[in-house]
Amino acid sequence: MDKNTYDAIVVGTGVSGGWAAKELTEKGLKTLVLDRGPMVKHGDYPTAMKAPWELPYADQPTREDVARHPIHTRPSFYGIKQSTKHWFVDDIDNPYEETRPFDWFRGYHVGGRSLMWGRQSYRFSQMDFEANAKEGVGVDWPIRYEDVAPWYDYVEEFIGVSGSVEHLPQLPDGQFLPPMELTCVEKDFRDKLAGKFGRKLIIGRTANLSAPLKHDKSPQRAPCQYRNLCMRGCPFGAYFSSNSSTLPAAEKTGNMTMVTNAIVYELIYDNAKGKATGVRVQDAETGHQTDYFARVIFVCASTFGTTQILLNSTSSRFPNGFGNDSGEVGHNIMDHLFGSGAQALADGYEDRYYSGRRPNGFYIPRYRNVGKDKRKYLRGFGYQGSARREDWTRLADMPAIGEELKRAAETPGPWRVSMMGFGEMLPSHRNRVTLDHNRKDKYGLPLLNFDAAHEENEILMGKEIIDDAMEMLTAAGYRDVQSFKIEANVGAGIHEMGTARMGRDPKTSVLNGWNQMHACKNVFITDGSCMTSSACQNPSLTYMALTARAASHAVDELKRGNI
C-alpha cells in the first residue's frame, strides 16, 4: 500500500486537472496525477508542422473516419479531420446512450481538451454569480465575484491572456497581454454598433501569447506565430494547454507522479474515517486494477467523466453515488446555446487586407438583460465572429472557368462578416445524465445515458440570437444578410457543466464554496461539473481560477488538520 500512497491524487489532466497538479505539487504535496489516455508531451504534436499539401484528402474525413465517429460527425465534424482526428475518441470504443440527443466530444489523452480548446477566455461577472439567487433559478452560487477575482488574476498572469481593457461590469477586465487587432471591417462594424445600438464589439480575449509572458516560469512558451493551427498542438507553446503550461510546471517541482492509461472507475470511501481514502484504477490497455491512496483527491475528469465516476462509486454510505446525498449528481446539465447567427457582405474596403492568420475573432459582450434592458427570457448571450475576405471557394458557384477562374482566385474576395451567438442555458433538474448498469463499455464501466434538451428560456433566447444578429448586420448597412442555424444538440458548444454543482445547502448541491464535497471533505471537484450556472462566457478560465482557489484551500485545510 505504501508505494501506492501519495499526499494528493488528481484525476484528469485537462484545464482543471493540469491546474490542480501544478498548484498541489508547487505547495509541496507528493501528487499522483492520473489520466485515462496515453501520454502527450509538449511538442509531441504529429501534424503541427504539416504544410497544407502534406495532409491527405484535403484534410477531410474519410468514410472510415466517419464510420468510427458516427455520433460525433452527426452535428458538426468538430475536429474530425486528418490534421486533428487523433485528438478525439471514437464512438465505437466509447459509446454513450441518448434518451434525448446529446453531442459529447471527448479527448482521452494527457492534456485532454486543453489541447483542442477554443482558447476564448472570459471572466464571469458579479451579475453572473448573483443571477440564480436574484431570479430564483437553480441554487445560489456559494461564492461571489470578489471570491474568484484574485484567482482570475493569478491564472491569467500564468497562462497569458490577450485582450483589451473595456470597463464593462458584465465582462470584467483581466491581467491582459496586448490585444490582437481588429480587421478594417470589424472596426467599421464596431463603430456602427456603438453609434446605432450603444453596444460594444471588442477583440476576443484569448489564451494565445500576443507578447512574451510576464513571468519566467514557462521557458517552453513563445509568442504566437499567427499560423492559426492551434488545435493540432502548438510547438511554440503559444497557446495555453496543460501540456505546454501547467504540467511542465508540476513536473519541475519533482513532486508529480504521472500514470497514464489509468481509468479511475471508483472512489474509495472509508466509513470509519468518514473520508475518501483513494481511487480504484483500471489500466486501459491491460485491464490491470490498482488502488491508489491519498489524503486529498481532486476529481477533474471533465464534467461527465467526473459524473460517471461519482455515480459508479456506490457504498453503504453513498448508495446513490459518491457524495450524492442531494440527489443532484448528474442533474442540471448545462451547455451554451450554439450554432445560430448571421452573416453578410460588406462593401467599401476592397483595397484593404491583412497578413498572418489570427487565432481569434471579435466578441460582442452580452447586452441583453443588462442594466435597463429587460427581455421575455432570463440571462443573455454574446457573439463571436469575424470579418475577413472570402477565398477561392466563393468561385465554385460562379461562372468563371479556365484562366479566368485562376485569375479570379488570385484576387481576395469580398469582405464577409459572420457572427454566432453563445447563449446562457439555465440549470434544470430535468436535464440529466444517468448510468445504465445494463450496458457497459469495453472497460466494464456502465454507459452514461443523456437526457437533456433546451427548454423554454433557451428557445426564446435562441430566436433573439438570430434576430439581433440580422438586425445589427442590416443596420450596419451590409448586404446579403442571411441567418444560419446549424444542427446542434445540447453539448455541441462543448461547454458542458453543472452535474455536481456548488451550493450553500448540502440538501440541494454537491459541493460547497471551496469546490469541496459537502459529504466528504477531502474530495474536491473543479471541472465543469461544479458550475452552478453557465453564464454565456466560455467557461474554461473560470474552471482554472476555481481549481487554483480550491487547491490553495485544500492545502490550508490539510495543514490545519481538518481533512
Partner 1 sequence: MNRREWLKCMSMLAVGAVTAPSLLAVFDAHAAAQRADTTAPFFTKQQSDVVAAVADIILPQSDTPGAVEAGVPRFIDQMFRDVYTKEEQQHYVHALAAFEKAGSKPFLQLDAAQRKALVTRLHEEALAKSNLNPASASAFVLMTKKLTMLGFFMSQPGCTEVLQYVAVPGAYHADIPLSQAGNGKAWAIEAELTI
Range 359-398, binding partner 1 (CB under 8 A): 359-361, 384-386, 388-398
Please say which residue, 265 or 422, places its beta carbon nearer to partner 1.
Answer: 422
Between residues 203 and 299, which has the closer beta carbon with respect to partner 1? 203
**Does 399 help bind partner 1 (rule: CB under 8 A)?**
yes
**254 or 399, CB closer to partner 1?**
399
Cβ at position 222, least distance to partner 1 in Å: 11
Helices (H), 418-560: 456-475, 540-560
Nearer to partner 1, 138 or 361 (CB): 361
Q: Round the CA-based radius of gyration of the chain to a whole number and report it.
A: 23
Q: Which of 69, 200, 205, 358 binds partner 1 (CB under 8 A)?
A: 358
Q: Which of residues 257-276 bind partner 1 (CB under 8 A)?
A: none
- Tell me which of 182, 309, 333, 435 binds partner 1, using CB under 8 A: 182
Query: Which residues from 272-331 bind partner 1, rule CB under 8 A?
Result: none
Q: How far is the CB of 398 from partner 1 (least distance, A)?
A: 8
| Residue whose CB is less far from partner 1, 220 or 225 | 225
Q: Can you say how many angstroms the Cα of residue 273 is from the centroid of all Cα atoms in its chain?
A: 35
Site string for partner 1, 54-73 (x = CB under 8 A): xxxxxxxxxxx---------
Q: How far apart are CA 375 and CA 367, in angstroms?
A: 11
Which of residues 115 and 281 has its CB atom nearest to partner 1 in the complex? 115
Q: Is the CB of residue 295 less than 8 Å from the CB of residue 12?
A: no
515 backbone φψ class: left, alpha, beta (φ>0; ψ -120 to 50): left
Cα–Cα distances in angstroms (integers) from residue 6 to residues 11, 24, 174, 236, in the given order = 13, 12, 35, 33
Print burial letters for 136-152: b (CB count within 10 Å at least 16), e (below 16).
ebbbbbbbebebbeebb
Residue among 58 and 272 whose Cβ is closer to partner 1: 58
Of the pair 94, 343, the CB lying nearest partner 1 is at 343
Which CB atom, from 17 or from 421, has the smaller least distance to partner 1?
A: 421
- The correct pick among 16, 25, 31, 76 for binding partner 1 (CB under 8 A) is 76
- Which stretch, 20-28, 254-262, 271-279, 405-413, contacts partner 1 (CB under 8 A)? 405-413
Among 230, 448, 476, 541, interactor with partner 1 by CB under 8 A: 230
Q: b/e map of 38-65 (b: 16 or more CB within 10 Å)?
A: eebebeebebbeeeeeeeeeeeebeeeb
In 3D space, the residue among 308, 285, 290, 301 whose CA is nearest the CA of residue 437 turns out to be: 308
Q: Residue 170 CB, nearest distance to partner 1 (Å)?
A: 20
Stretch that binds partner 1, among 93-101, 409-417, 466-474, 518-526 (CB under 8 A): 409-417
Contact segment (CB under 8 A) with partner 1 among 24-32, 79-87, 150-158, 320-328 equals 79-87
Residue 416 binds to partner 1 (criterion: CB under 8 A): yes
Is residue 226 a contact point for partner 1 (CB under 8 A)?
yes
Let me know: does 492 contact 526? Beta carbons within 8 Å: no
User: Which residues within the stretch 235-254 sit at the binding site for partner 1 (CB under 8 A)?
Assistant: none
Nearer to partner 1, 197 or 484 (CB): 484
Q: Does 77 bind partner 1 (CB under 8 A)?
A: yes
> Which of the ranges 24-32, 77-85, 269-277, 539-547 carries the binding residues for partner 1, by CB under 8 A?
77-85
Distance between CA atoms of residues 535 and 335, nearest Å: 10
Q: Which of residues 527-556 bind partner 1 (CB under 8 A)?
A: 538
Closest CA to 258 of 556, 540, 543, 32: 32
Q: Between 321 and 341, name the residue whose CB sits nearer to partner 1.
A: 341
Q: Does residue 105 sit in helix, strand or coil?
A: coil
Phi, psi (degrees; rounded to nearest 5) at 135: -100, -5
Crossing angle (nearest 10°) for helices 145-159 and 126-135: 150
CB-based contact 531:363 (threshold 8 Å): no
Containing H/E element for 23? helix 15-26
By beta-carbon proximity to partner 1, the closer residue of 116 and 511 is: 116
DSSP class per residue in 64-88: HHHHH-TTTTTTT-TT-STTTGGGS
Question: 94, 132, 183, 312: which one contacts partner 1 (CB under 8 A)?
Answer: 183
Give least dist CB 81 to partner 1, A.
5
Using CB under 8 A as the binding rule, whether residue 421 contacts partner 1 is answered as no
**H or E, element range at 303:** helix 303-312
Which of positions 122-181 make contact with partner 1 (CB under 8 A)?
A: 180-181
225 vs 315 by CB, closer to partner 1 = 225
Give the bridge partners for 417, in sequence order.
344, 387
Among 41, 217, 406, 442, binds partner 1 (CB under 8 A): 406
Maximum distance among all alpha carbons in the chain?
A: 82
Report 444-503 residues binding partner 1 (CB under 8 A): 484, 486
In the set 5, 43, 48, 78, which binds partner 1 (CB under 8 A)?
78
Q: Please, what is the minimum distance in Å from the beta carbon of residue 472 to partner 1?
A: 16
> How is residue 101 written as a grid cell?
440527443
Supply 164's cell numbers. 483589451
Q: Is 438 helix (H, G, I), strand (E, B) or coil?
A: strand
Cell output for 67: 464510420
